[in-house]
Amino acid sequence: MADGAREPVTGTAPDALGLLAARRLHAQLAAPAALPVGDYRAVLLGPAWFRALARFGLTLGGLPRWHGKRFRADGSGVNLLQSAAGGAPREKLPMQLSIAPSPADGRPVARVGYDRAARFPWPAVVDELRRLPTDGEAAEVWLGMARTDWRLTRGSGLLRLPFVLIRER
């Protein structure tokens, strides 16, 4: 999605929800009743400079053209990369999902973690997901906060990077 394009689910541009507002909203959302299942398209949130920096970091981490995530009913999942040729997304970097308390607020989140054998920095990266309320017509949307699980950064609110995952139909 091009910078500044409007999201059909929310009707807002990715930069409309500021970094601090996304963190506050994440803290207010209800605990997940179940783990997500299916394919989800990712949209990075925040100002354009922040999204560009995040895309650069994802590329350095081995996830160029990050498209989103695929979650399976067994609690496993994988990141999806958009193919250079424009075909179907390809799978990379397996993950495991669980319901666990967030170090930020102690409340449950859908926790996405990566294998300890994955390349740096993924063994220390954790995505914390909470579902956004939507009406019955809208696609399922999860607000995510990516963070690192190093001792010095575990509970830090400053290093929580917001994104949304929108269920693809």
Domain residues for 55?
A: 19-163
| Res 158: pLDDT | 54
What b/e readout covers 89-110, taking b as 16+ CB neighbours within 10 angstroms? beeebebebeeeebebeeebbb
Q: Is residue 9 part of a domain?
A: no
CA distance 50 to 72: 30
pLDDT tens by residue, 72-87: 999 999 999 998 887 8
Q: Is residue 8 part of a domain?
A: no
CA-wise closest residue to 32 among 126, 101, 130: 130
Q: Is residue 30 predicted with pLDDT exceeding 80?
A: yes
CA distance 44 to 31: 22
For the chain, the 3-state helix, strand and coil shares in percent, each to the nearest 5, are 15, 35, 50
pTM: 0.86
Q: Is residue 13 part of a domain?
A: no
pLDDT tens by residue, 56-75: 999 999 999 999 999 999 99
- Ranked by mean pLDDT, the top range of 22-26, 37-41, 49-53, 133-137 is 37-41
Q: Is residue 70 part of a domain?
A: yes
pLDDT tens by residue, 109-149: 999 999 989 998 899 999 999 999 887 767 899 999 998 87
| Res 130: pLDDT | 96
Six token digits for residue 103: 């170090």
Under 8 Å CB-to-CB from 73, ≥6 apart: which residues?
Answer: 37
Q: How far is CA 13 from the centre of its chain?
A: 17
Overall average pLDDT of the 34-48 stretch: 94
pLDDT tens by residue, 95-108: 999 999 998 889 99
Total domains present in the chain: 1
Q: Is residue 57 part of a domain?
A: yes
Measured CA distances, 160 to 54, 81, 82, 102, 117 (Å): 12, 22, 24, 12, 23
| Res 38: pLDDT | 96
Angle at 97 between CA 79 and CA 3, to 5 degrees: 40
Lowest pLDDT segment from 2-11, 28-37, 143-152, 160-169: 2-11
Confidence of residue 152 (pLDDT cuts 50, 70, 90): low
